């Protein structure tokens, strides 16, 4: 089977999982991340909405929901079929430059794929746009809270609290790395859920951004304090990505330097922002590689 055919089949399977009448009827209800107003919110992010200027002539599956002005973050639990569920869960962080969230391309479609391999997808709607003074503090708080909520509700949601990872795209990849390396909770505990760990057990970074030190692509961002306690990572990016591939290389090197397990895949072509939609580029096989890595690392074991 050709790369195009294989990737098309993968995207079709995800679309069927996400868009079939049965799954639409069972669409999960978003859960508020916070018991009240999220930390530091001032009501100045605008009205949440899809900011995409939709083209009525666009082919099905080519447009993207660009969710903007998110001030009330949520977590949506996408559960796999009972006979497939293996107890693993992954918090999914869509990208969008900390300005919007690519909600379907890097969110709901990814959760459908995770369900197909028995993993519970925890789709995080984190706050955007970021405030210029501290772009990702609010998203970091939301990601940490999501991980704590997952562990606090592990029994109710059928999860193994020791197998909760994070997966992010572009800015969401940066958020996943930042959450993996945060040395402390970035907000004051608000309830008993925050008595559980807010660090992921593993991470998957897909075309991550903002990991290097400004314009110096030879150095990792000093905000990412990688240590031997940083969770294992899977990283994938294309060389022709307008976001420099050095973002992936520097993070992988930092993990290697402290002997944290890392699997890195660099492909010649693929660009940026492809999610898991079909293309002629082998990079679209990344979900298969992630599934293999998760299995080989023991994250997909059944209890």
pTM (predicted TM-score): 0.91
Q: How far is CA 191 from the centre of its chain?
A: 25
Structural domains in the chain, sorted by start = 3-53+62-296 (3.40.50.1820)
The closest of 147, 150, 197, 140 to 171, measured between CA atoms, is 140
Q: Is the pLDDT at 8 greater than 80, yes or no?
A: no
Q: Is the pLDDT at 24 greater than 70, yes or no?
A: no
If you count DSSP H runs as helices and E runs as strands, how many of each does the chain have, helices first? Answer: 8, 13
Q: Is the pLDDT at 10 greater than 90, yes or no?
A: no
Work out the number of other CB atoms within 10 angstroms of the CB of residue 51: 15
The secondary structure of residue 300, as a DSSP letter, is: T
The closest of 130, 116, 113 to 45, measured between CA atoms, is 130
Between 27 and 288, the higher pLDDT residue: 288
Structure confidence by residue, pLDDT tens digits, 120-140? 999 999 999 987 668 899 999
CA 36/CA 72 separation, integer angstroms: 9
pLDDT category of residue 7 using cuts at 50, 70 and 90:
low
CA 117/CA 111 separation, integer angstroms: 10
Structure confidence by residue, pLDDT tens digits, 171-228? 999 999 999 999 999 999 999 999 999 999 999 999 999 999 988 999 999 999 999 9
Token pair belonging to 155: 């029994």
The closest of 46, 63, 155 to 102, measured between CA atoms, is 63
Is the preceding peptide bond at 129 cis, omega within 30 degrees of 0?
yes
Q: What count of residues does the chain have? A: 303
């Amino acid at each position: 089977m050709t790369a195009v055919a294989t990737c098309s089949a993968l995207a079709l399977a995800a679309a069927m999982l996400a868009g079939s009448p049965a799954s639409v009827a069972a669409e999960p209800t978003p859960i508020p991340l916070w018991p009240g107003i999220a930390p530091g919110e001032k009501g100045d992010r605008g009205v949440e909405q899809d900011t995409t200027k939709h083209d009525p002539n666009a082919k099905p599956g080519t447009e993207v929901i660009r969710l903007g002005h998110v001030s009330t973050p949520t977590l949506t639990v996408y559960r796999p079929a009972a006979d497939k569920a293996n107890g693993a869960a992954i918090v999914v962080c869509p990208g969008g430059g900390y300005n919007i969230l690519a909600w379907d391309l890097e969110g709901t479609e990814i959760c459908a794929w995770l369900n197909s391999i028995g993993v519970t997808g925890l789709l995080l709607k984190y706050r955007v746009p970021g405030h210029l003074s501290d772009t990702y503090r609010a998203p970091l708080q939301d990601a940490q809270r999501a991980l704590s909520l997952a562990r606090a509700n592990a029994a109710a949601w059928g999860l193994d609290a020791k197998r909760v990872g994070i997966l992010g795209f572009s800015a969401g990849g940066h958020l996943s790395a930042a959450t993996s390396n945060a040395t402390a909770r970035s907000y004051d505990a608000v309830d008993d859920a925050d008595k559980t760990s807010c660090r992921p057990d593993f991470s998957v970074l897909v075309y991550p951004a903002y990991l290097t030190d400004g314009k110096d692509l030879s150095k990792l961002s000093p905000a990412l304090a990688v240590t031997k306690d940083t969770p294992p990572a899977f990283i994938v990016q294309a060389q022709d990505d307008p976001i420099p591939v050095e973002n992936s290389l520097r993070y992988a090197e930092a993990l290697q330097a402290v002997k944290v397990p890392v699997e890195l895949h660099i492909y010649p072509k693929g660009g940026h922002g492809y999610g898991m939609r079909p293309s002629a580029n082998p990079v679209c096989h990344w979900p298969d590689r992630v599934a293999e890595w998760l299995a080989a690392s023991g994250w997909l074991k059944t209890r």
